Each structure stands twice: as structure tokens, then as C-alpha cells.
Structure 1
């Protein structure tokens, strides 16, 4: 295997090739190629994939301990049951989203969710506040805390990655459906808790 390290002398190498930071799952055929016939380009491609996986893992660990108010489950569950004909569309333009979200695909998805669900979620949060004062603010604070932790950790580079990480966190904390979590996070983008 010494010849392989000579061929790859200009690339980053792991101190311990069997460490979790260096291991990546490959099929048998690809593993054999990597062991005996890899090129610098192939090695760097796998290295970059592994680095991205490690950043995602670290980003998830950064926010794993953050909690959110359990009442958010009421809002998430209500989203799963709502009849779309009952929704009141947003009556003003979602400027916060348009000004803050750079990625056009992410912006379009958030705008769609905000336009369709913003007023409904706002009413649901107001109902939570009538039951116990300040619940919506505590939920907003938790979402904002998750966003800030991801933003300042510098592990994730794009708004899409940060959005996805917050959705993943919310889903893991609530066992809510992914799309319902995307709708909730979109609501908080419009309300200036995210981005």
C-alpha cells in the first residue's frame, strides 16, 4: 500500500485510517478500487464527502441538547389534520422571506408555506398563549436559539443547510412529520426568528 501514499502525497491523510473520521461506507467493488487503484481525484472526492458528513454530524450534535416547548406538538398535529379549504391566505406580501432568503428554491418553498399557512399557525400559537401565557414566545425563542447555534457554529455554509438542520432538529424533538416541521420553520423565517 506504500505506492498508494506516494501517489496521494499531496492530499490530506488521516492519522488513523481506521478512525470513524476516516471511514466511509463503500460497496465491495468501490472499496477494492480505493484500496488499490484510487486516483487523487477519486480520493479527494470521497474525502470531501466524508468532511461534509462530519460537518452535518457536528451541526446536529450542536443542537441535539436544545429543547422546545412540548406544546409545539399541538400545532404540528393540527397541521396534519387541517382542511386546506379552511386556510385563510396571507393578505400581505411576505417581505421578510424575500429579503432574507437568497437561495431561490428555498425562498420559493418558504414563500409557499408562509402564504398558505402563516395565518393558521399564528392563530394556533395565539390559542396556546390563551391556555398559558408566553408559550408562543418560548417556542419562538427555542427556534431562534437553534438557528443562532447553527449560524454561529460555522459548520453549515448555506441557508438551505441551516433550514434543513432546524427542520431535522424540530422533527427529532417532536416526532412531527417533516413537511409540518418545514411549515413551522418557514413561519418563523417570516417572523424573523430564522435568518
Structure 2
């Protein structure tokens, strides 16, 4: 018996489109176009594992991992532009299936992270540290800070990419002493504030670790969480803080 194509609700369509940020995840083309001042859809909801696979497709994908046993489940569908949808479906290949599977898997994981942000608080005073990263005049001094990030070297494993590792080490060299001093100043105004924030960071890290994520994913997720909670002007500040907490032993 053939599976019927599900008609997704308006809310489900909005959620699916938000998940891919309103662009085709394969070619990065917008999934809407404007004409005469109005927006029109230029996407289709594609099934990652086929809605009604042919005998050949069943054989082709027999040993491939699936995101849901229900082909109409939101975890098995993704908005694509019409051209990419057509290319993906005909002819279907294992490599293209794996590519879209991994894209959707990462999107699902990111959605889970976003839901987690609400459950994990972080003291709003951390925003003061971020502002100091941008505006404190002492950081404009050309004085070299002699500081070797030994903890980083010892703690980062092979799952961290070389560019990310170098970025973390650079952040630690340039900002660790500065941020540690600023946390100490905050503690003078509010007792043990830095310890509270450290425990919050540690709790979020342990949640990531218990999910079985590698260090690269954990670092990126912690940066995204700090970003979401503090809304800095750029992503750099969240990366600097995450790097500080690696050296300070709350992460990894």
C-alpha cells in the first residue's frame, strides 16, 4: 500500500522553513521570491527517505541510517528549492541521500540546542564582561601578555579542527588574563558571581558531553548558547568567552 503525502500545517511549514533559515540547504537559493510587493514560495517539501520508494531505491538505501521510520515525520522532510528537489529525487543516489541526511541531522541537533537554551540560564552580568571586551581601553595597549595556554594544549583532542584550535589558543593568549581580572572585579561587587557563572557554564558543557558530542560540536554549541543568551555585537565575543572557560577548566 502506498504512503499518502502528508499535508503539513502552516505551523509545521514555518518550523521547517525556519530550520533551514528560509534558504535551500543544498544550493543556498532563497525559498521565497518577491513580485509586485508580495512574497511567493519557491520551495517544495522533500522526503529524505522516499515517500514511496521503488524496489531499486529500497535496495539502494537498504543499509542506510534513517531519521524516522515514519516517512512523513518532520525529521524525514526538508524544504528544498524546486530544482534541487527534482535533482535529488531523480535519479536518487546514495551519496546525495547521505548528504541531505547529514544536513537534516545537524539541523535537528541545532533545534534541540535552541530548545535547551531556555532551560540553561546564565547570569546577565556576563554581558558586562562582553561589553568590556569591546570597549575597555586597556585592551588597546600594545603590551604583550606573556601567557601560555597549557590547559588548551592538553585538553583539546583531534575532533577539534586546526583552525578552531588555533583560534581558541589565540583567544586565551590575548584575553584570558583580562577576563579573569574583570571577573575578579565583578566578584568585588557581588560575592562569588564568577563561581556562579562558572558552574552554569560547566552544567551546560556536561549536558553536551552526556549527549555524546565531540569537542568541535560542543565548542560550537556553547558559543551559540552564549550568543543567544547575551546577544553580543559579533560572534567573536562568545568565542572569546568559551575559550576562556576552556582554559579555566569549566569546559573539556
Q: Deviations over 1:4-35 (max 9, x none)?
A: 43222114554433321011221111112333
SS at the partner of 1:24?
strand
Instruction: State whether residues 90 and 114 of structure 1, in contact with CA within 8 Å, keep that contact through their aligned partners in structure 2.
Output: no
Q: Using a 3 Å threshold, how does the CA distance of structure 1 residues 92 and 41 change in structure 2: closer, same or farther? A: closer
- Structure 2: where are the runs of 5+ without partners? 1-49
Distance 1:60 1:89, change over 3 A: farther
2:238 matched residue in structure 1: 181
The structure with the largest helix share of the pair is 1
Q: Deviations over 1:78-137 (max 9, x none)?
A: 111134333764433211001011233222111101110111101110111000100000
> What is the TM-score normalised by the length of structure 1?
0.88
Runs of 4+ off more than 6 Å: none
Equivalent residue for 2:103? Answer: 49
Which stretches in structure 1 are left out of the alignment for 5+ residues?
Answer: none
**Match of residue 155, structure 2, among 90, 96, 100:** 100
TM (norm. structure 2) is: 0.69
User: Over the residues paired in the alignment, what is the CA RMSD in angstroms?
Assistant: 2.2
Higher relative contact order (CA 8 A, sep 6+): 1
Residue 191, structure 1, aligned to residue 230, structure 2:
no
- Count of equivalent residues: 193
What do residues 127-178 of structure 1 show as CA deviations (whole Å, max 9, x unaligned)?
Answer: 1100010000011111111111101112x3x212111100100111111231
State the match for 1:7 in structure 2.
56
1:35 aligns to what? Answer: 89
**Structure whose CA Rg is larger:** 2
In the aligned structure 2, how far is the partner of 1:87 from the partner of 1:179? 20
1:55 positional shift: 2.5
Q: What displacement does 1:2 show?
A: 8.6
More strand, by proportion: 2
> Cα deviations across residues 42-84 of structure 1 (Å, max 9, x unaligned)?
2232123212322232244334410001110100111111343
- Partners of 1:77 and 1:34 lie apart in 2 by 46
